[in-house]
Amino acid sequence: MAARQLLQSIAMENNLSETAFFVPSPTGFHIRWFTPTSEVDLCGHATLAAAFVLFHCLAYEESEIVFASRSGPLRVVREGALLVLDFPAQAPVPCDTPAGIIAAFGMEPVTCLKAGDYIVVLESEGAVASADPNLAALKKLDGRGVVITALSDTHDFVARFFAPKYGINEDPVTGSAYTQLAPYWSGRLNRTKLRARQLSARGGEVVCELIGDRVYIAGLAVKYMQGEIEVNPAR
């Protein structure tokens, strides 16, 4: 079995939003991410988890990890209990709202933009929280997924992320989405440091800061489970 096929098979068996795989490299580590159906170019929470494993389970002693990836070098810095991801910014640009988005959400958004994903700005936090999209309609869109977002009363903004085409109906917390959301909300709110809440069923707090062409995303991780899997590459 080819290496990529093996990694994809493991990710499919895990059936999580993304599974991260990392190995040592001359500059640090090389990392790849797979959803249950596809390899992706960038993933935040799985990179956070990989760094947590290195720091807390594999006795990595430095304060900074550099991952080589399909999106270039990605730094993770340990700052107390926080892990800070240094990711490339992806500023979204305004676009016409695809008919599939209007059909999926049953409403016309305030604004529609696009970078790696569609960024769909809704009128209120309540509209984001109550959205129940038609996933079949979202599957037909080009690009990776759809982020819905709005201003918040308790945070700077809220968001949710859907990528059914990649086997992710709704992602709990999506670090890579904030590489697009941070440039948008930074420009709209006229500040570079932002607090956000992802309104998935599990939910998550995100602190992000736009610095030039990079987005710093800080978060916490906890050890949930440790185990072994058995792999038969010949099958």
What b/e readout covers 180-195, taking b as 16+ CB neighbours within 10 angstroms? bbbbbbbeeeeebebe
Active-site pick, 13, 18, 39, 62: 18
d(CA 105, CA 148): 10
d(CA 91, CA 119): 10
18 catalytic residue (yes or no): yes
β-strands 204-211, 193-198: how paired? antiparallel
Tokens linked to 71: 């999106």
For 110, the 3-state DSSP assignment is coil
Active site residues: 18
